[in-house]
A and B are shown apart, each in its own frame.
Chain A
Amino acid sequence: MSLALPVRKYDAIVVGAGGSGMRASLELARAGLKTAVLTKVFPTRSHTVAAQGGIAAPLANSTEDNWHWHMYDTVKGSDYLGDQDAIEYMCRRANEVVVELEHMGMPFDRLENGKIYQRPFGGHTQDYGSAKMAMRACAAADRTGHAMLHTLYQQNLRANTQFLVEWMALDLIRDPQDGAVVGVTALEMETGEVSILQAKAVLFATGGAGRIYAASTNAFINTGDGLGIAARAGVPLQDMEFWQFHPTGVYGAGVLITEGVRGEGGYLINKDGERFMERYAPNAKDLASRDVVSRAMTTEIKEGRGCGPEADHVLLKLDHLGPEVINQRLPGIREIAIKFANADPVREPVPVVPTVHYQMGGIPTNYLGRVVVHEGSNHESIVPGFYAAGECACVSVHGANRLGTNSLLDLLVFGKASGEQVVKDLQTSPKPHRNLPKDAGEQTRARLARLEAAGSGERVADVFAELRRTMQAHCGVFRFPDDLAKGVERMKAVAERAARVYIQDKARTFNTARVEALELDNLVETAMSTIVSAEARKESRGAQARADFPERDDKNWMKHTLWYKEGNRLAYKPVQLKPFTVEAFEPKARTY
Chain B
Amino acid sequence: MDAAADSRSKEMRLRWKCRRGLLELDLVLETYLQRTRYDGELVELLDLPDNEIWDFVSGRRDDYEQRFAGIVARLRAT
- Residues of A at the B interface (CB closer than 8 Å) are 40-41, 44-50, 143, 146, 150, 166, 189, 216-221, 253-256, 331-332, 335-336, 339-340, 507, 509-512, 515
> Shortest Cβ distance from B1 into chain A, in angstroms?
9
Residues of chain A with a CB closer than 8 A to B12's CB: 507, 509-512
With A49-B51, A255-B27, A339-B58 as known contacts, state yes or no: A507 contacts B21, CB within 8 Å: no
Most buried by A among B9, B21, B49: B21
Q: Is the CB of A512 within 8 A of B15?
A: yes
CA distance A336 to B27 in the complex (A): 11
With A49-B22, A219-B21 known as contacts, the answer to whether A146 contacts B50 (CB < 8 A) is yes
Q: Verify if B39 is at the interface (C-beta below 8 Å from A).
A: no
Chain B contacts for A41, CB-based, 8 A: 16, 19-21
A-B contact pairs, 10 of them (CB 8 A): A41-B20, A49-B21, A146-B50, A219-B21, A221-B19, A253-B27, A507-B5, A509-B9, A510-B9, A510-B13
Interface 0/1 of B19-62, CB less than 8 Å to A? 11111101110100000000000000000011100000011100
Any A CB within 8 A of the CB of B8 = yes
- Sorted nearest first, the 10 A-B pairs with minimum C-beta distance are A49-B21, A335-B58, A510-B12, A45-B21, A220-B26, A219-B23, A512-B15, A47-B21, A49-B50, A146-B51
Residues from chain A with a CB closer than 8 A to the CB of B60 are: 331-332, 335
B21 contacts which of A50, A254, A256 (Cβ < 8 Å)?
A50
CB <8 Å contact, A146 and B19: no
B interface: dominant SS: helix
* Measured CA separation A440–B60 after assembly (Å): 51
Question: In the complex the two chains form, is B23's CB within 8 Å of A255's CB?
Answer: yes
The residue among B23, B24, B50, B58 with the most chain A CB atoms within 10 A of its own CB is B23
Closest-CB distance, B71 to chain A (whole angstroms): 16
Say how far A164's CB is from chain B's closest CB, in angstroms: 15
Measured in the bound complex, the distance between the Cα atoms of B53 and A236 in whole Å is: 39
| Distance in angstroms between the alpha carbons of A41 and B21 in the assembled complex | 9
CA gap between A21 and B67 in the complex, in Å: 35
Minimum C-beta distance from B55 to chain A (A): 8
Contacts of B26 in A (CB 8 A): 219-220
Other A-B pairs, 20, CB within 8 Å; known A340-B27, A509-B12: A41-B21, A44-B50, A45-B19, A45-B20, A49-B22, A219-B19, A219-B21, A220-B19, A220-B23, A220-B26, A253-B23, A253-B27, A255-B27, A256-B23, A335-B58, A335-B59, A336-B24, A336-B58, A507-B5, A512-B12
Q: In the complex, what residues of A have CB within 8 A of residue B59's CB?
A: 335
A331 to B20, CA, bound (A): 21
Contact A512 B21 (CB under 8 A): no
A143 to B61, CA, bound (A): 15
Chain B residues with CB below 8 A from A509, complex form: 9, 12
- A219–B29 Cα gap in the complex (Å)? 12
Instruction: Write out the residue numbers on chain B whose beta carbons fall within 8 Å of the beta carbon of A47.
Output: 21
Q: How far apart are B38's CB and chain A's nearest CB, in angstroms?
A: 13
Q: Kindly list chain B residues whose C-beta atoms are within 8 Å of the C-beta of A512.
A: 12, 15-16
Contacts of B5 in A (CB 8 A): 507
Q: Is the CB of A48 within 8 A of B27?
A: no
Residues of B near A218 (CB, < 8 A) are 23
A254–B30 Cα distance when bound, in Å, is 14
Residue of B nearest to A150 (CB): B49
Query: How far, in Å, is A105 (CB) from chain B's closest CB?
Result: 16
Choice from A143, A166, A217, A253 contacting B16 with Cβ under 8 Å: A166
Say yes or no: A143 contacts B23, CB within 8 Å.
no
A residues within 8 A CB of B49?
44, 49, 146, 150
User: B33 to nearest A CB, angstroms?
Assistant: 11
Query: Min CB distance, A392 to chain B, in Å?
Result: 16
How far, in Å, is A149 (CB) from chain B's closest CB?
8
CB-CB under 8 A from B27, the residues of chain A are 253, 255, 340
CA distance A34 to B26 in the complex (A): 34
B72 to chain A, nearest CB (A): 14
Interface centre among A41, A44, A45 (most CB of B within 10 A): A45
In the assembled complex, how far is the CB of residue B48 from the closest CB belonging to chain A, in whole angstroms? 11
CA distance A507 to B28 in the complex (A): 27
Question: A190's closest neighbor in chain B, by CB?
Answer: B13
Residues in B whose Cβ lies below 8 Å from that of A143:
51
Residues of A contacting B22 in the complex (Cβ-Cβ under 8 angstroms): 49-50, 219
Nearest chain A CB to B63 CB, angstrom units: 16
A146-B50, A512-B12 given; A48·B21 CB < 8 A:
yes
A146: which B residues are within 8 A, CB to CB? 49-51
Determine the distance from Cα of A4 to Cα of B16 in the docked complex, in whole angstroms.
28
Q: Which residues of B contact A256 (CB under 8 A)?
A: 23
Return chain B residues, CB-CB under 8 Å to A40: 19
Contact yes or no, B28 A339, CB < 8 A:
yes
B28's nearest neighbour on chain A, judged by CB, is A339
In the assembled complex, the Cα of A45 lies from the Cα of B13 at a distance in Å of 16
CB-CB under 8 A from B15, the residues of chain A are 512
